Structure formats: structure tokens, C-alpha cells
Structure 1
């Protein structure tokens, strides 16, 4: 038996630190860079910028520039990104039922 190639691709992208949290925040709707940074404690600006670029390259999010001044950059899920919402909701339910609060990854 081997792991499914699709699962491997999903976790290669979404399994990276902070990526799931970013997508999770964006399932609620578009957000500005600063809002994302506040919503995800511990993430650096550089890491957030890198992860957003990766998600945009994977066509899961779209970057928009709102006219200024000042110019503000917002992010929203694409159709493909929005399709992840049910999976994230199910993961949240699973975590509430099966993952004790005391289990936290290192660095969180």
C-alpha cells in the first residue's frame, strides 16, 4: 500500500507551517495583510508574505491592491481555495472532538 499522490500534493502545500492557518482565516472572507498577521499569532511578516506567495502560485488565493492612498493589499480565496472550506470545517470539528487542548505543535 502507498500513500495517495493527491494526499501527498495536498500536504506538501497545506502541511507547511502557517499555510493551513492562513487558508482557515481566509475562509471567513477577504483579509488585508495586517489582518492576517493579527489573526495568526507568531507568524512573521516575511513568513506570511512567503506563504501568501506560495498560495497565490498554487492558485488558491488572489492578491488584490486597493487604491489608496495608502495602498492596501488584500487577499481572498479563489474558487479552488473556497472549495477547501468544507474540509477545514470538518478538520475543526474533528479537532474539537478528538484532539485534546493539551496537544499543541512545538512553537505554538
Structure 2
């Protein structure tokens, strides 16, 4: 039972680290919570001399939690309007209108 808990705690701790670094915002709290739960269960199943590794896993999970919480609170997602793109879009529309007018004029000249 202890080996299963070790495997699950390691898996969810590594998964929590990966999701903490990637831009998944609060979705990372799911594996963090599971890593903490399995870490606590591992602490209960361990002897006194075996509790060092579960403490390390719990510490890493707590640090991931603090990192995700800080990233969620401190980093603001802002959408900036790209003025050059907007200008190019307007110019492209104007050029398309001119081309259509030229085509219409050529068509009327042929008739």
C-alpha cells in the first residue's frame, strides 16, 4: 500500500509542477490537491524513519500551490490592440475596393 501511495504522490507532484509552470491558471490546483492528499496519506502509512520523503513531496506541492496562487493573482492578462495590424486591415479593404471598381469599370467597358 505504501508503494502505491509513493507512486501516486510522485506522479501527482510531478504533474503539479508541470501544470504550475505552464499557463493553466487554477487548473493546476487539481493535481496539487491530489499530491497533498496522497502525501498526507503517505505520511500516515510511514514509520518515523520513513517520513522524510513524504515531507519533501508535501513541501514541493505547497510551493507549487503558492506559485500558482501568486501567478494567478499577480499576472494580469491584457489584450493590446495592434495599431499597425488595424491600419493594414483598413488599407487592404481600400485596395480591394479599388480593384473591384477597376474590374467593374473594365467589365462595363467590354459591354
TM-score band w.r.t. shorter chain = under 0.3
Larger Rg: 2
More strand by share: 1
Q: TM-score, normalised by structure 2?
A: 0.25
TM-score (norm 1): 0.25
| Structure whose residues are more often helix by fraction | 2
